[in-house]
Amino acid sequence: MKHLLGHFFQDIIKTEYVGGGDINQTMKVTTADGDYFVKYQSKCKHDFFECEADGLDFLKKNSSFRIPKVIGTFYEYGEGLLVMEYILHGKRSPEYYAKLGEKLARMHLQKMEKYGYKQDNYVGSLVQQNNPSSCWAEFFVRQRLFPFKDILSLPNKGHEVDVIIEKIHQKTYHIHPSPLHGDLWSGNHMADEEGNPVLIDPAVYCGDRAIDIAMLQLFGSLHPEFYNTYFSIYPKDEHWEFRIKLCTLYPLLVHARLFGGHYIQEAKYKFNLLLKAD
């Protein structure tokens, strides 16, 4: 990683590894001008960090959350860097969850033109298809479920697929496309030095707001103040519980592809339950 840092910094004082997940290594770089946060991949897809930078810009334009400022990206011979401002992790303020709920609700209230996005991007290490559509059910089935058709044993015949799309459409026709973080699990929101919420690591597109709420609920529930504030601004509406269950399918399928194991059976089970739901 260090040999690539010279493309951005000439006066590095100190570098400090700060861990990494399944995909990236991360580093705090201290220079004479201040601190920076760097993500690195040794086997990187050429547009991976460009997509992340674009997603951060999308969130900055379409929300009031604090979003890390992107300094730049670099790719060379399979190695990639994303350089951002360094935001100090702080302790969550007493108002943290209320602010998270308020800002997310106001982001979701915005009505975007179509479901999808201007380009494909990534969720985790997987390519995320985002071809724009005017129908959420059509978009969700063909671009969120079909990439995992082997796991779900989805039918190939057009009529059978159309039946699934129509069943979902009956309960989702009334929703509008909202700006989405797209991968909003608990590790992708954090408190800054003042205790206010910051969003990181997006997989953005426009879709049913239930996507973000389902992701927040999938691996544990948030503080009640988040839900109280969110739903006071943007209340639950018709078929909310069906939509939450539907939207939970996508992150389960992503985990099934990446990690296998019980996620495969859980995704199959929940998909079949949805097909049988009235």
- Measure the N-to-C terminal CA separation of the chain; round to a whole number of Å: 53
Query: What tokens appear for 12 in the block?
Result: 């590095």
Residues 122 and 7: their CA atoms lie apart, in Å, by 25
Residues 255 and 269: their CA atoms lie apart, in Å, by 15
| CB burial readout 6-30, b (16+ within 10 A) else e | eebbeeeeebeeeeeeeebebbebb
Q: Choose, from 47, 54, 183, 208, the residue flagged as catalytic.
A: 183
Q: Which residues contact 177 (CB under 8 A, 6 or more apart)?
A: 111, 112, 113, 114, 115, 116, 136, 206, 207, 208
Query: What tokens appear for 112 in the block?
Result: 């975007």
Q: Which residues contact 187 (CB under 8 A, 6 or more apart)?
A: 201
Active site residue 201: no
Q: Which residues of the chain form beta strands (DSSP E)?
A: 12-20, 25-31, 34-41, 70-76, 79-85, 121-123, 126-128, 178-180, 189-191, 197-199, 205-207
Catalytic residue set? 183
